[in-house]
Structure 1
C-alpha cells in the first residue's frame, strides 16, 4: 500500500511486528485536544475496526490518536503507531508507556533513524505514512487547520477513502470534519459504514497479496486425518513454519528460531496464513486457528 502513495519513504524502521504493515488497515486521526465525545468515538470506531480484522493505524499523538491506539490494544488487537521521530524516541513523552506497549503488542514505525528527536517539520511527513499504510482515513474530530487534515488530503491524493464524523456547528473541533465533508469526504455515523466501504478493498488487497507472495494458501492448514499437521504443502518452508506453530500463541522470535527461517520469510507466510483463516494473532503472538 505504501509504495502506491505519493513520495513513499526509502525505508522504514520498525519496532514490533512488521507483518502488521501488510495487513489491510484504516487510519484514525484527529485533534490532540478532543472533546470527551470525540475520544469516545475514536475508541468505539477503533474497537469495531479491530473486531473486523482491520489494523488500526495512527500517529501516537495525544487525544484522538492515543484513544484509538488504547482501544485497539484493549480489544486484544494490534495497532500501528507512526512516529515523527525515531522509533526509540516516543513523542509526546506522556505517551511513553503506550509507545512501549505498542512496540510489544503491535508495531512502531518511522522513516527517521533511531535517536532522531521529534521536530515540528517532521510531522507532515509522518502523516503521509499514516495515510499511505491504510485503505482509508477516518477523521474523528479536527479544528479547521488541524494537522489531521494533512493526513486526509494525502489519503485523497493517493486514491484512498476519506471519512469524517460530523459534529455540532458550535464545536470548533468539528470544523475540520465539516471542511472535509464539503470537499467530498464520506460522512459516517457508525463504524459499520466504514467497514462496509473498506471491506471490498480489503478483500481485493488480500487476493493481490496472495498472488504477489506466490503462496500455496489453499494447502496451508489442511489437516491430515489425525489433525496434527497439514496433509500436503508443496513448499517445504510452509511445512516448517506450520510445524513451528501451535495452538498456544508464539512470538515472532520463537517461530523464527523453531522454523530456522528468516524473519522476512516467516512474516510473509504468516500473513498469507492469517488472510486464509489458518492462523490467528493477538498481542503480537501467533497460533493455529482452532
Structure 2
C-alpha cells in the first residue's frame, strides 16, 4: 500500500507535517497552533515569516523551516515509513488511541515500530526505579506476567530496572508490551536495551516515540514521555521508587489525567519503597496482589482475571511459585493461601531458594525472574 494511503494524507502534506514536526522549539501545542492558524502543514510552511511572528512563535522556528537539515530529516522519515512494520500515527487519524487523545497535550505524531494495533488495547503502565533491588525486579516481572496473562498490554519506558523487568515479564507469557521512548526510535536509549526492544518488536510488541527518529537523549524529553505512558494506560502501577524518582512524575500525571494509580509497598527501611509509600499516603491504591488491580478493572472490555498459573512458563508451575508470581507473600500467608502446613511451606521455599527460583527480603518471599 502506498505510504500516502497508509497515512490518510497526500504525499505533500505528509512531508510538510514531518518537516513541521522537526522544527526547533515546536512541541505539541505550537504544532497545533500552526495547523489551526494556517489550515495545514503545507500552508504553514509556505506562509510568510510575518505570519509566524504574529503567532508569537520563536524566530528559530520560522528560520529553520526551509533548511536542508529539516528537509533531509523529513525525507529520511518517509523512507523509514516505507519499511514493513514501521508506522506513523497522527492526532487526526481515526485509530489514534482514544485515551491518549484525552490528555491536555497529546502527541501530534507517534512513530511506531511493531504492532500499532496494541495502542488500542487496554493497557497498564508499569514504572519504577532504574536502580531497583533484586526483589523489586522480580516483583515487577511477576506482576507483568500476571497482568499480561490477564489480557492487559504492559506499557513502560524501556528504561533500566523496573521498566525492563516489566517488558520482559510480559514477553515471558507471550503478552503484549509497548515501550515508550524519550528519544527517537533510531537513537534508542539506553543502548543496553536495544536487544530487548528488538525482541519486543519481533514478538508482537511495539516501541513508540513522539520525537523525530534521530532525536538524541535529552533530559527534558524523559519526563515528557511519561505523560504518554500514563495517557495510554487505564492505570499506572509503581513497583519501587525513591521520593525523587521520575516514576512519581508518571504517577502524578496519571492522577491528573484521571487514571488510577497503584503502588506496591515495601520495607520502611528500604529507600526504594519510600516513593510508593508517599503515593499511598496521597491516595494511590495499595497493591499486594494482582487482584487489587483486576477487581478495579475487570469490567473493561475483553479483559478479566486469568488463571495465573496457566499464564506462567513451565518453570513456574510449582504451587508456591504460582502464588508468588501473583504477588510477594510471607511464609505464613503462603501457608494460608496454599492450604499447606507452615513447615511444609518453609521446606519447599528452601528448595526453591536453592534453585534460585525465589528470594526472601524483609520477611517476604518473591518469585525471581528467570
Aligned match of 2:139: 41
Q: CA deviation at 1:203?
A: 2.4
Structure-2 change in CA distance of 1:204 and 1:5 (3 Å): farther
After the TM superposition, which residues 23-38 of structure 1 pair with which residues of structure 2 at under 5 Å, given as runs?
A: 23-38=121-136
> Where do 4+ consecutive residues of structure 1 move more than 4 Å?
none
Residue 60 (str. 1) matches residue 142 (str. 2): no
Residue 198 (str. 1) matches residue 305 (str. 2): no
Alpha-carbon distance between aligned partners in 2 of 1:42 and 1:30, rounded to the nearest angstrom: 9
Residue 158 (str. 1) matches residue 257 (str. 2): yes
Higher-Rg structure is 2
Q: CA deviation at 1:3?
A: 0.7
Provide the aligned C-alpha RMSD in A.
1.5
SS in 2 for 1:42: helix
Aligned match of 2:169: 71
After the TM superposition, which residues 82-121 of structure 1 pair with which residues of structure 2 at under 5 Å, given as runs?
A: 82-105=180-203, 106-121=205-220
Q: CA deviation at 1:204?
A: 9.2
Residue 171 (str. 1) matches residue 255 (str. 2): no
After the TM superposition, which residues 185-264 of structure 1 pair with which residues of structure 2 at under 5 Å, given as runs?
A: 185-200=284-299, 202-203=300-301
SS in 1 for 2:187: coil
SS in 1 for 2:136: helix
Structure-2 change in CA distance of 1:204 and 1:74 (3 Å): closer
Contact 2:180 2:225 in 1 (8 A): yes
Alpha-carbon distance between aligned partners in 2 of 1:17 and 1:89, rounded to the nearest angstrom: 19
Alpha-carbon distance between aligned partners in 2 of 1:127 and 1:168, rounded to the nearest angstrom: 26
Aligned match of 2:325: none
Contact 2:144 2:170 in 1 (8 A): yes
Residue 133 (str. 1) matches residue 232 (str. 2): yes
Contact 1:143 1:175 in 2 (8 A): yes
Q: CA deviation at 1:78?
A: 1.8
Segments of structure 2 that go 5 or more residues without pairing to the other structure are 1-98, 304-370
Contact 2:124 2:235 in 1 (8 A): yes
Q: CA deviation at 1:104?
A: 2.1
Aligned match of 1:2: 100
Contact 2:226 2:250 in 1 (8 A): yes
Contact 1:56 1:78 in 2 (8 A): yes
Question: In the TM superposition, what whole-angstrom CA distance separates every residue of 1:210-263 from its partner, at most 9, and x where no partner exists?
Answer: xxxxxxxxxxxxxxxxxxxxxxxxxxxxxxxxxxxxxxxxxxxxxxxxxxxxxx
- Number of aligned pairs? 205
Contact 1:80 1:109 in 2 (8 A): yes
Q: TM-score, normalised by structure 2?
A: 0.54
Alpha-carbon distance between aligned partners in 2 of 1:80 and 1:89, rounded to the nearest angstrom: 17
SS in 2 for 1:162: strand
Q: CA deviation at 1:52?
A: 0.6
